[in-house]
Amino acid sequence: GAGVSQSPRYKVAKRGQDVALRCDPISGHVSLFWYQQALGQGPEFLTYFQNEAQLDKSGLPSDRFFAERPEGSVSTLKIQRTQQEDSAVYLCASSLAGTGANVLTFGAGSRLTVL
Amino acid sequence: EDQVTQSPEALRLQEGESSSLNCSYTVSGLRGLFWYRQDPGKGPEFLFTLYSAGEEKEKERLKATLTKKESFLHITAPKPEDSATYLCAVLAGGGADGLTFGKGTHLIIQP
């Protein structure tokens, strides 16, 4: 597609529920990133994929967070047993080449609200 | 630990009133400094990348500059459509993959 597509745009979950957020990057983009943006804050790095390989997951806040990109295109961020502090906008970004120094194209984000 | 501090947090200008936004950073081996624009309900949109002290880049009414400790985003004769949150981010050396962002400057241009 023309841009990075994320779904759902909005998700409301009860505390303790599992959620899955989808990212469809720009076709042909090698690198894919997930960021978490709390209200009034800048985005914070969660994890990085180069094709299907998850090369960096140092930003994932706990083992309740899991990301995958099995075929090197679409990626899913899964959050198990959601907590209120997980409420944020989850941004996906992709870039053509395989290093973090390249220009990122961000999606519009998935806004998660945990009640 | 890599740190990015942006100031001011918010800025309200009249249309045509030029100003500058500041981004101070502490990073182990800068590989790049990035400026993004973010509109409400949207993801950040890339503006500039700067790689070394002394470098400058321009796009329309925006000009970004870089020193060893900070970057400035200069806005000349802004228009209401320049209203947005401007985010600064750094990419550190040592094999880091993710950008470290500041909290942003919320800019409002009044007609």
In terms of residue numbers, what domain contains B105? 3-110
For B32, nearest residue in chain A (alpha carbons):
A101
Partner-chain contact B87 A43, CB within 8 Å? yes
CATH number where A13 lies:
2.60.40.10
Domain total of chain B: 1
- Total structural domains within chain A: 1
Q: How far apart are CA B16 and CA B89, in angstroms?
A: 27
pLDDT at B1: 84
In angstroms, the CA A110 to CA B27 distance is 29
Residues of A within 8 A of B102 (CB-CB) are: 42
- Rounded Cα–Cα distance for residues B45 and A98 (Å): 19
CATH code (residue B79): 2.60.40.10
pLDDT tens digits, one per residue of B31-53: 999 999 999 999 999 999 999 99
Q: Which residue has the higher pLDDT, B13 or B93?
A: B13
**What is d(CA B84, CA B39) in angstroms, rounded to the nearest whole number?**
5
The answer, for A2 touching chain B at a CB cutoff of 8 Å, is no
Average pLDDT, chain B: 95
Q: Tell me the mean pLDDT in the region B23-36.
A: 94
Distance (Å, whole) CA A16 – CA B65: 46
Sort out which chain B residues have CB atoms less than 8 A from A58's CB and list them: 98
Domain that holds residue A88: 5-114
Average pLDDT over residues B12-31: 96
